[in-house]
A = this chain, B = another copy of it.
């Protein structure tokens, strides 16, 4: 055997993108100056303006600022850090960087969730790294935790709170505000974008869940195969009913093996107050991985922000420095999503124009579908014309419950579509 030889070579890093995350990467890299790394290129549109803005910082004058990706590609940079976001031109630039013999570190969740099935094998074929620890849950080392730290387990379930914006909005509704007020507050504070669709309707979390399911559950799930349900219908009184059940409501991303298939979905769910998932603050993220041998393991921390994301990127860069040749890839992912047909306890929230016989009619429909009622909760103090109440069910399949719900929604006294919330057992 041969002893490990210290490698004094400097690894040259090129940065594609100099927005919030890119400038954090540059600053942390230059602040903490790891001995083995040198930032040699920054590539961005309007690069003169970016460079001028950065000049007040500590970035060394040796950095080559350019608007031309071809210059990066032709350079001797070893590692390309892609923080442009989106698919174009990021996908093309990542492919060409890999083909040009460079390893790539990316924070781009859309790129990995949508094109990972092609790009990851491509990197393996070319003998280069394609690392994406920053694409999920920012600074929380969950990708390396699933890939290396829990490599010895057989994971079968992943639950997470992967979108800090939804966590903020739901916490705000919990304190009595409406959805619209809470969204406006999140936008005012810069937590939510002008068009909040990606966050509140679950697509942002679904992209992250697709990546976690690939890494942790060896699933080939495609981004758009993950069912998403919006948090928009959640109202303050839903939290009052949740508390009656010892729960709160959170946007939960979950994926679970079921034989050779994968169940995966993003939706608002009832979370027991005793669960770590119920205790997460504001913009933080949490991932809980469940294994056959090791049980539940929890990872939590800052899910977004320039500096935490920069930490995740630099950790990936340092992993490449430590092991320049990628490990032999494991078997390719195989699990495909069947659907989001989780069997759970569910709570159904109905809003009705109160009149005699409501419970009988609703209970009859549920009974006809073989669904057993666990309890009926009704709190005082609401208008009889818009009366909310909650029915909790014994465990049943999501599809069965939805079929019954479609019938219930047609009842004349139902004034708003019923809302169904799974009750997590974590």
Contact = CB atoms under 8 A, between A and B. Distances in A.
Contacts of A397: none
A320 B101 CA distance: 25
A7 interface: yes
A6 interface: yes
A286 to B, nearest CB: 8
A180 interface: no
A425 to B, nearest CB: 15
Contact of A276 (B7, B127, B143, B279): B279
Contact of A295 (B2, B139, B312): B139
Interface string A199-224: 00000000000000000000000000
Contacts of A276: 276, 279, 300
B294 A32 contact: no
- Going nearest first, the 7 A-B pairs with the smallest beta carbon separation are A141-B149, A152-B314, A322-B327, A3-B127, A139-B294, A297-B301, A152-B315
Given A4-B127, A145-B145, 14 more contacts: A1-B127, A3-B127, A4-B326, A7-B328, A35-B331, A139-B295, A141-B297, A148-B322, A150-B311, A151-B319, A152-B313, A276-B300, A294-B302, A296-B302
18 contacts: A1-B101, A1-B128, A7-B328, A28-B293, A32-B154, A35-B331, A139-B153, A141-B149, A144-B144, A148-B315, A151-B314, A152-B316, A294-B308, A295-B301, A298-B301, A299-B299, A322-B328, A323-B323
